[in-house]
């Protein structure tokens, strides 16, 4: 059964007053896997890894970063060759998302994670604008609003592969990968993402947007607890202004500090 994101806000499984979404992949990889690769190729191993992290961090949803999955998948020589077969703008992203074997594998992965972590599933993916920039082999100044809308169509078609997965929300990550000239890209225009929002509406998934220090899901604004909160012992707990909190745990955070900051967070807004 799919648990909607509004239901998460109404009754967070952690018992907190303010639900917590935790972006912990880099942190958990260092702490729990001792720097070894995240087992993306093994759905059961990945679920075990996430459950271990959840036991420590007590999030209210499973945040599954499929952008990271595809970033690593794109290094496969077969996919690299397919993405480079045409020079047309947007072709690389279209080829990446249209690869049937990868799409089947990632849908199976998401379904397994949803079933075994037993928390509402939020898929984090690059926004069409960010994904287009990350896969474009040329100058990102070539990318305009029309090309972003075309990229949204590719992403929408790909998302239909998750029709049987109990997805609560899809979080579009607007953060631009390091090395890309974000200023050269067209400004964020949610209207360009209509193909994606239409698919989400059809499957009754909430759509969210994540920026460097902002986050929202549907009509609900959230608060971002960035790296600074988790790296310092004496930072005050920010007042909860939003309907939920998004915690971004940096890879180099100290586990004892993270647990202490979580306890302080819970005590402040549990």
Give the residue, 1 or 109, on which the prediction is more confident: 109
Mean pLDDT of 204-216: 96
Measured in degrees and rounded to the nearest 5, phi and psi for residue 216 equal -150, 150
* Predicted local confidence at residue 268, as pLDDT: 53
What pLDDT shows up at residue 225? 95
Confidence band of 270 (pLDDT split at 50, 70, 90): very low
pLDDT digits (tens, 9 = 90+) for 164-184: 999 999 999 999 877 667 778
Give per-residue pLDDT as tens, 56-85: 999 999 999 999 999 999 999 999 999 999
Predicted confidence band at 269 (pLDDT cuts at 50, 70, 90)? very low
| Average pLDDT of the segment spanning 232-254 | 92
Average confidence score pLDDT of the chain: 94
Mean pLDDT of 125-133: 96
pLDDT(215) > 90: yes
Mean per-residue pLDDT, 208-221: 96
Q: What percent of the chain is modeled with pLDDT above 70?
A: 98
Q: Give the least confident one: 47-61, 143-157, 178-192.
A: 178-192
Long-range contacts of 175-178 (CB under 8 A, 24+ apart): 175/130, 175/210, 175/211, 175/212, 176/130, 176/133, 176/134, 177/130, 177/133, 177/134
Q: Mean of the pLDDT values across residues 91-113?
A: 98
Residue-range domain boundaries for the chain: 5-269
For 153, other C-beta atoms within 10 Å of its C-beta total: 16
Arithmetic mean of pLDDT, 96-116 = 98
Q: Check whether 267 has a pLDDT greater than 80.
A: no
| Strand ranges (E), the chain | 20-23, 62-65, 121-126, 167-173, 206-210, 215-217, 220-225, 244-248
Mean pLDDT of 103-130: 97
Question: What average pLDDT does this structure show over 233-243?
Answer: 87
pLDDT at 94: 98
Report how far residue 211's alpha carbon sits from residue 234's, in angstroms, rounded to the nearest whole number.
Answer: 26
CATH 3.20.20, domain 5-269, yes or no: yes
């Amino acid at each position: 059964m799919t648990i909607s994101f509004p239901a998460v806000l109404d009754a967070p499984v952690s018992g907190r007053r303010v639900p917590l979404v935790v972006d912990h992949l880099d942190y958990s990889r260092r702490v729990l896997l001792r720097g070894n690769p995240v087992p993306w190729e093994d759905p059961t191993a990945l679920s075990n890894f996430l459950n271990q992290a959840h036991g420590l961090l007590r999030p209210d949803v499973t945040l599954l970063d499929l952008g990271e999955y595809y970033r690593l998948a794109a290094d496969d020589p077969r996919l690299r060759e397919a993405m480079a077969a045409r020079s047309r703008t947007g072709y690389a992203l279209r080829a990446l998302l249209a690869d049937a074997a990868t799409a089947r594998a990632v849908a199976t992965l998401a379904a397994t994670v949803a079933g075994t972590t037993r928390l509402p599933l939020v898929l984090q993916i690059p926004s069409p604008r960010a994904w287009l920039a990350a896969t474009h082999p040329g100058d990102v100044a070539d990318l305009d609003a029309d090309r972003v809308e075309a990229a949204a169509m590719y992403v929408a078609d790909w998302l239909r592969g998750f029709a049987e997965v109990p997805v609560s929300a899809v979080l579009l990550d607007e953060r631009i990968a390091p090395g890309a000239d974000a200023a050269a890209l067209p400004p964020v225009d949610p209207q360009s993402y209509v193909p994606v929002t239409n698919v989400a509406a059809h499957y009754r998934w909430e759509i969210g947007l994540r920026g460097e220090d902002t986050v929202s899901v549907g009509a609900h604004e959230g608060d971002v607890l960035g790296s600074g909160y988790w790296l310092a012992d004496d930072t005050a707990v920010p007042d909860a202004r939003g309907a939920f909190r998004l915690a971004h745990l940096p890879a180099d955070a100290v586990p004892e500090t993270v647990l202490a900051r979580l306890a302080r967070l819970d005590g402040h807004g549990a």
